[in-house]
Amino acid sequence: MTQQGDSWWDKLYDESAPDTGPTASGDTVDDRFDTAARATTDPPPDTKSPAHPTGPDPRAAAPAPAPAPSSTAPDTAPEPPPVPTAPPAPTAPPAPVAAPVPPVPGRAPWEAAEAGPRTFPAPPAEAPTVQVPVPPDPPDPEQEPERGREPAKDQKPAKDQEPEKDQEAEKEEEREQPSARADHAPTVQVAVPVPRPRTGFVGDRPPTYDPEPTALPVARPGELADVVADTVLDGARYGTCTLRAASVRGDSARFRGEPRRDALLTARFGHDEAALVLVAVAAGSRAAEDAHLAAADACRWIAEAVCRSHTRLSEDIRSGRRGDLKSGLHRLTDRTYGKLRARAAERGLAPDEYTASLRCLLLPADPACRTRVFFGVGGGGLFRLRDGAWQDIEPLLPERAAVGAPVVGFGSPPPAPSVPEATEEEDRLTMDLGITTAPGPLVEEPVPPPAEPFRFRASVARPGDTLLLASPGLAEPMRGEPDLARELADRWDGAEPPGLAAFLADTQVRVTGYADDRTGVAVWEA
């Protein structure tokens, strides 16, 4: 660089040259830094001269040059004076951590960064660097004991220091009012896992079998459509009733790998208020090999029959025509069992080897109608939970007719003689020579067993009632084990209808000695 270039550079950064920057406003970053520096160290002698005003640093108005510094600048910085014991109180808050480096007399600004460690103390570590005003965060309960800690002797607080008495009073107030800090503490929400429903039991000891499935039924090629699931679960809500239905394979069938013989079908026919909900439950005989297929056919065929007549059935229920309902449902049930007998003949089985008990519920979707219709054939149970107690409302079977005298016919003893042996003229009549008449036509086919009586009941539900339709596997322990009835009453009385998982756990409450399939349909009245 030429001598002429060095001269203008020296004039620009000469300590005696006046500052060409803007006038001091008294509240700039450099002013705050100079105030803090004067509070801790004595300023160099040259900074007190009139030619060096307390304005912003010359670097704010001059561009950042890249050439080397002048050779007239001293090589080393003077030693800083000792720290005074009683520094004057600051007139402004301290500068942030990112404050500029103070200029050194006789040295260029960029050389001050290479002049060794700074001569002013670092700000307190607890004071955060805030560049824009933001609302204060709520105090952290874990860092609460550090709030009253005093700063170190060689550090300055982040804000104007209050009298020591006020700090002590504030500490005492915080100790006396711990609940005030707790009110402002952030609320922590912890997710508590919901316990899973477990299969329980009633009685003195648990049943012999395991409560969960063990062996699967055998599947054969070409018959995979006949595979039955271990458990069926369903539910709905229409009008004022909430429906829950479950069918579970029994413990005995699970242990032996046999299919579930109970069948469950839920269906809705129609729309809006004229809709009709059908729940069909069928239970096959344990002695029959294809009992699960017969139960499924019975549910499917009764559903098809009700679907074709659901409009008329819905009108009869809402109008209260019980006579028409009973006769119509009886006719539909007889047709279903007629199909079962025909299917048994196709399979080469006797009618009693391909049959099932059938029990159904009809629930109208109209909220203004609370009539619940039950019909069916065979064993099972119909119960109602009202006022915390179970009522067995199973329709009674009609009494058998009185047995009269045997009908005269083939094989019956001859009647007593009603005519005299001789006439008035003493003429004796021809004696019976013991000649019998020819027998009637021989009946080779066995007579089908008599059909079980048809059951029907239509009742009006009350708010708070719970209606339970049960297959034989659930009805028998309900009648034979009071603890099971009491357990279900405690769970279902005066409570909201359970969810599907909870209802499944309720119907699986086991009882020693009852290991058949269980199917239950419960209706809660709002």
Number of neighbours of residue 343 by Cβ within 10 angstroms: 19
Q: Which residue among 155, 185, 213 closes a domain? A: 155
Does any domain span residue 190? no
Average confidence (pLDDT) over 80-101: 52
pLDDT of residue 51: 47
Average confidence (pLDDT) over 363-373: 94
Does any domain span residue 443? no
Q: Report the run of H or E that residue 405 belongs to, with start and end.
A: none
* Relative orientation angle of helices 472-480 and 482-492, to the nearest 10 degrees: 100
pLDDT of residue 117: 45
Does any domain span residue 222? yes
Q: How far apart are CA 180 and CA 487, in angstroms?
A: 48
Q: How far apart are CA 34 and CA 57, in angstroms?
A: 10
Number of domains in the chain: 2
One domain, residues 364 and 487: yes
pLDDT of residue 58: 46
Query: 247: pLDDT confidence band, cut at 50, 70 and 90?
Result: very high
Whether 120 contacts 42, CB under 8 Å: no
Query: 208: pLDDT confidence band, cut at 50, 70 and 90?
Result: confident
Average confidence (pLDDT) over 315-330: 94
Whether 253 contacts 517, CB under 8 Å: yes
One domain, residues 241 and 148: no
One domain, residues 151 and 242: no
One domain, residues 215 and 143: no
Does any domain span residue 1? yes
One domain, residues 23 and 95: yes
Query: 102: pLDDT confidence band, cut at 50, 70 and 90?
Result: low
> If you average pLDDT over every residue of the chain, what do you get?
73
pLDDT of residue 494: 81
Q: Which residue among 101, 128, 155 closes a domain? A: 155
One domain, residues 491 and 366: yes
Query: 2: pLDDT confidence band, cut at 50, 70 and 90?
Result: low
Q: How far apart are CA 202 and CA 187, in angstroms?
A: 43
Residue 69 predicted with pLDDT over 50: no
One domain, residues 223 and 150: no
Query: 410: pLDDT confidence band, cut at 50, 70 and 90?
Result: very low
Does any domain span residue 65? yes
Domain enclosing residue 67, as ranges: 1-155
Residue 465 predicted with pLDDT over 70: yes
One domain, residues 230 and 115: no
> What's the pLDDT tens digit per position in 159-199?
444 455 566 666 666 665 555 454 555 666 666 665 655 66
pLDDT of residue 20: 56
Does any domain span residue 283? yes
Q: Which residue among 155, 190, 213 closes a domain? A: 155
One domain, residues 253 and 142: no
For residue 431, the Cα-to-chain-centroid distance in whole angstroms is: 92
Measured CA distances, 384 to 80, 289, 347, 464 (Å) = 98, 34, 40, 11
Percentage of residues in the chain having pLDDT higher than 90: 39
Query: 16: pLDDT confidence band, cut at 50, 70 and 90?
Result: low
Q: How far apart are CA 116 and CA 118, in angstroms?
A: 7
Q: How far apart are CA 13 and CA 107, in angstroms?
A: 9
Q: What is the per-residue burial (b if ≥16 Cβ within 10 Å, else e) of 116-133?
A: eeebbbebeeebeeeeee
One domain, residues 89 and 233: no
pLDDT of residue 211: 74
Does any domain span residue 403? no
pLDDT of residue 521: 97
Whether 83 contacts 41, CB under 8 Å: yes
Residue 432 predicted with pLDDT over 50: no
One domain, residues 245 and 312: yes
Residue 266 predicted with pLDDT over 80: yes
114-123, 230-239, 348-357: lowest mean pLDDT where?
114-123
pLDDT of residue 519: 97
Two structure tokens written together for 318: 């809402």
The CATH number for 517's domain is 3.60.40.10
Query: 481: pLDDT confidence band, cut at 50, 70 and 90?
Result: very high
One domain, residues 340 and 275: yes
Measured CA distances, 444 to 191, 342, 435, 437, 447 (Å) = 74, 19, 26, 20, 9
pLDDT of residue 313: 95
Q: What is the per-residue burial (b if ≥16 Cβ within 10 Å, else e) of 38-69?
A: bbbbeebeebeeeebeebbbeeeeeeeeeeee
Does any domain span residue 426? no
